[in-house]
Amino acid sequence: MGQRLNRCLDVPVALPPLRRRLLLLFIMLFLWLYMFYSCAGSCAGTRGSPAPPRAAPPLPQLPAPGEAGEESSLEEQRAAPDAASPISSFFNGSGTKRLPQAIIIGVKKGGTRALLEFLRVHPDVRAVGAEPHFFDRNYERGLAWYRDLMPRTLEGQITMEKTPSYFVTKEAPARISSMSKGTKLIVVVRDPVTRAISDYTQTLSKKPDIPTFESLTFKNRTTGLIDTSWSAIQIGIYAKHLENWLLYFPIGQILFVSGERLISDPAGELGRVQDFLGLKRIITDKHFYFNKTKGFPCLKKAEGSSKPHCLGKTKGRTHPDIDQEVVQRLRDFYRPFNMKFYQMTGQDFGWD
């Protein structure tokens, strides 16, 4: 018995060759990962004298909306990069989450989704897909929450978002200006009569039992008094809404995109947008083809895909037939507002 025990102690147990290889591979992988993360965390100091690793500083607390000193702290938030460890950066990808430098602020049913999808083809544009609704519905959540929604960007890339309801939200201009007075604003506008009918068509698809367009248009159809409290009508009074934005932003910091030309000449309108954003003109005619079924241009290749891409079935709905007398009364109603809007923007959109 003693001799057998001595043999067990003196002779090491040999592992099968496959297990030995797996164990060796595991040890090598562990050592490589340890060296990689050690270097990533400490080699960013001065050459020849690596700086000791430091704990990431906590994000500064944002003051509540309206408190003194908000503007300076918001600018610091915008400039400060994300505090991320080497490991989190490795798994989350490179780049920094920044507050948007450009926002598509309107208008609903004007062509904002098409514009954003077209812009995302540009390699220097990174945009949030869903509408954040920060400056109208979620402002109390704070800028840290808002910034966390943004995609990571590299140096030289632009962060964007689009929420069309901002244009008609009274508080939005002051709030965006408080975030950054240098924010570039884009407004996609469309013939207000056609826009109103498109707005109604969208609502009708969700609520088939709503009253007719004609009955909603008038407070009193006999007198022809237009109901400007109806949002479908109110949104199209562009001059009124623009006055509010000009209290906080110069006209040169707002680009007005024609929803009609975005359909008839998408490359031309995208050229203007790229110039406005300070981007190289990369999106051109070669990126588009006209879809006769939908009645608007589509992308030959969408972002991150090699296949053609058109907007979903919720875009390009067939409009219901509207009484032409009602359409004409709406044109007469909008005409003076359109004329004022043309003067304010220096552009004639040709809606009359």
Instruction: Give the residue numbers annotated as catalytic, written as ranges.
Output: 109
Residue 198 is labelled as binding a ligand: yes
Token pair for 88 = 């989190």
The H or E element spanning position 318 is: none
3-state SS, 14-34, equals CCCHHHHHHHHHHHHHHHHHH
Residue 318 is labelled as binding a ligand: yes
Closest CA relative to residue 136, chosen from 187, 184, 175, 104:
175
Token pair for 49 = 């004298």
Token pair for 75 = 């600018």
Distance of alpha carbon 216 from alpha carbon 229, whole angstroms: 10
Token pair for 343 = 């003067």
Residue 112 is labelled as binding a ligand: yes
Distance of alpha carbon 194 from alpha carbon 111, whole angstroms: 12
The H or E element spanning position 243 is: helix 238-245
Residue 93 is labelled as binding a ligand: no
Distance of alpha carbon 115 from alpha carbon 269, whole angstroms: 9
Residue with structure tokens 């408190």? 67
Residue 110 is labelled as binding a ligand: yes
Q: Residue 114, class by beta-carbon neighbours within 10 Å (0-12 exposed, 13-18 middle, 19+ buried)?
A: buried
DSSP assignment letter at 237: -
Residue 113 is labelled as binding a ligand: yes
Residue with structure tokens 């910034």? 147
DSSP assignment letter at 154: -
Residue 48 is labelled as binding a ligand: no
Q: Which residues contact 57 (CB under 8 A, 6 or more apart)?
A: 83
Token pair for 30 = 């562990």
Measured distance between the N- and C-terminal CA atoms of the chain, rounded to whole angstroms: 109
Residue 205 is labelled as binding a ligand: no
DSSP assignment letter at 186: E
Residues tagged in the binding site annotation for 3'-phosphoadenylyl sulfate: 109-113, 190, 198, 315-319
Residues tagged in the binding site annotation: 109-113, 190, 198, 315-319
